Amino acid sequence: MTVRTMPFFSSGYRLDADLHLPDDGGAGAPYPVVIPASGFQGLKVIHPERFARALTALGYAVLAFDYRGFGESEGERGRLVPQEWAQDVRAAVDRVCVEPDLDAGRVSLLGWGLGGGVVVAAAADDPRVRAVAAVNAVADGNRSTRNMHDEDSWRRLLERIAADRGRCATFGRSEITSPWDIVRLDLDDKTDGYVGEELYKAPGFGAGVNLESADYLLRFSPETVAHRLAPRPVLIVHGEENRLHRPEEARALYAHADEPKELILLDGVGHTEWMFDEHPVFRGLVDHLDRFFVESLELPRMRSSVG
């Protein structure tokens, strides 16, 4: 794999991005492109680069980037708004479509967690996107977030969001809170453990999030636009024992999408405890993604054997 920096602009913000290419000296150019979108508190150095390592070996170019306000990207710190992230994804599509060694006619999106909903929202009105894969996705922000909370913590969150609207209107600034006040990890031991042991290794992970972001999250419902993807194909993959974003998110997204569509439930696994480069479940996911992209983009089968 070779890597070159390829920043781009979204809504005037300069976003930090790297283009990952197969290590074939350009023989496979113009390359089909996959743009992975991170989940909640995601950074390009976590799952986007993990997907890049796996997919470049199969002949794909992968653009990994940090959303506005994250990593080295410009933007307001603590603002985590999926509706704005969808704009960042569309800007990433703009960027790859003008690179001569990338195939603008074969661009796909791959979203993880909250990013799974983001790529559906981004692609719904962008016909340049040929295929969408959503892994452990959020189909409706309100439902998914509610399912993470008990009665008391949900009530407190709604009260804080309501009070913050007045704060924003009066002072122009939203209150910063722990991201885990919004997305509760402590009710999902496997995910909580993985986050603590692995994701906090990434600089900046776990930083505070403002309550205005939570307000936007509860109004984010990519399932309502999933039907606009057709006739482009969508692949929905979800851990069957996911206790963070429950499998009903995948089933709802599948139900709202039109054909062609495919739903795969990964037996015996949760949200993220299996996300390691050589874990057999992750390798199996990569096989599913490669098959889906090959079929959707009408790629030569030999691409799957590129080493």
Q: Would you say residue 206 has pLDDT above 90?
A: no
- Please report whether residue 191 resides in a domain: no
- Please report whether residue 51 resides in a domain: yes
- Please report whether residue 253 resides in a domain: yes
Per-residue confidence (pLDDT) for residue 187, from 0 to 100: 78
Q: Would you say residue 307 has pLDDT above 90?
A: no
Per-residue confidence (pLDDT) for residue 303, from 0 to 100: 53
- Please report whether residue 185 resides in a domain: no
| 261-282 average pLDDT score | 97
Count of domains in the chain?
1
Give 65-105 pLDDT, tens digit per residue. Answer: 999 999 999 999 999 999 999 999 999 999 999 999 999 99
Token pair in block for residue 210? 């403002």
Give 157-168 pLDDT, tens digit per residue. Answer: 999 999 999 999
Q: Which residues contact 70 (CB under 8 A, 6 or more apart)?
A: 42, 43, 204
Q: Would you say residue 202 has pLDDT above 90?
A: no
Give yes or no for a contact between 238 and 247, defined as CB atoms under 8 angstroms apart. Answer: yes
Dihedral over alpha carbons 251, 255, 261, 264 (to 10 degrees): 10
Helix (H, G, I), strand (E, B) or coil at 35: strand
Give yes or no for a contact between 270 and 190, defined as CB atoms under 8 angstroms apart. Answer: yes
Half-sphere exposure of 271 (CA within 13 A, CB side): 25
Domain residues for the domain of 61 are: 2-140+220-305
- Please report whether residue 18 resides in a domain: yes
Helix (H, G, I), strand (E, B) or coil at 119: helix
DSSP H stretches of helix in the chain: 47-56, 82-96, 114-124, 141-146, 151-171, 179-182, 189-197, 211-218, 247-256, 280-297
Q: Would you say residue 301 has pLDDT above 80?
A: no
Per-residue confidence (pLDDT) for residue 233, from 0 to 100: 98
List the CATH number of the domain containing 39.
3.40.50.1820
| 206-226 average pLDDT score | 97
- Please report whether residue 206 resides in a domain: no
- Please report whether residue 178 resides in a domain: no
- Please report whether residue 182 resides in a domain: no
